[in-house]
Structure 1
Amino acid sequence: MSEESRTGYPEPSNKEVFILHVNDQNIEFILTRNSLGATDLYPIHYCWNIVSMAPSCLPNMSKEKLLTILKEALKVYKCSGIRDLEKNAKSLIEFDF
């Protein structure tokens, strides 16, 4: 994700967009990822934080349930997607939401 800079040109940001499709509706999450201290067992260690979520809930589902689904999806995604098994095996993720 990029943001407008003072020069008017897009600049990279630390924000990532995830779209979760639930009950025939797309939920857009904007997240940031903060690095945490690496360990011998997990050299890749970071924490996801939510910047925004739209919509914040669905008619038949609470915000808490949507966040639980997002956490489950991010646990599978891990560091760089389901196909990067080697990197994902070395990663530990946490959530600040």
Structure 2
Amino acid sequence: VHQHSWCVDKERGYWLFNCGFLINNDSISGYAEASDKEVFILHVNGQNIVFILAHHGMEATDLYPIHISYELVSMSPSSLPNMSRESLLNILKDAINIFKYNGIRDLEENARTLIEFDF
């Protein structure tokens, strides 16, 4: 596991792990290819929540050449005993906004990245 795939909030005890893109075995080329669906694991209150998000590249600007929009495809589980779905989604959004495009390994690219959420 690569160190740059993680985003950790030590104060709250949360972490986010970017698992990468799901593979599409039924691609037009006939070869396995990465899909537009990206998998994240969010660890909150001792439990892992698996999110599948559709990753959409958006129009670049001079200020933000990397512009990404995420759409929620699924989350499991959808809530925790002491935390609502909305709270989990807000934590996820915060973590992805910190993780940005490429985690801690690419601060320059991350500074030029704009993330939007369609959920």
C-alpha displacement of 1:4: 3.6
Normalised by the length of structure 2, the TM-score is: 0.74
1:66 to 72, 83, 88: 88
Q: Of 26, 48, 63, which residue of structure 2 is paired with 1:41?
A: 63
CA RMSD of aligned residues (A): 1.7
Aligned pair partner of 1:78 in 71, 76, 100:
100
Q: Give the distance between the partners of 2:60 and 2:31, measured in 1 at CA.
A: 34
Which runs of 5 or more residues in structure 1 are unaligned?
A: none
AA paired with 2:64? Y
How many residues are aligned here?
96
Give how far 1:50 is off.
0.9
For the pair 1:3 / 2:13, whether they are aligned, the reply is no
Percent of residue pairs bearing the same amino acid type: 61
After superposition, what is the alpha-carbon deviation per residue over 1:31-68, rounded to whole angstroms, capped at 9, x for unaligned?
Answer: 12111111111111111111100000001100000000
Report what 1:12 is aligned to.
34
Residue segments in structure 2 that go unaligned for 5+ positions in a row: 1-21
After TM superposition, the score normalised by the length of structure 1 is: 0.90
Letter of the 1:2 counterpart = I
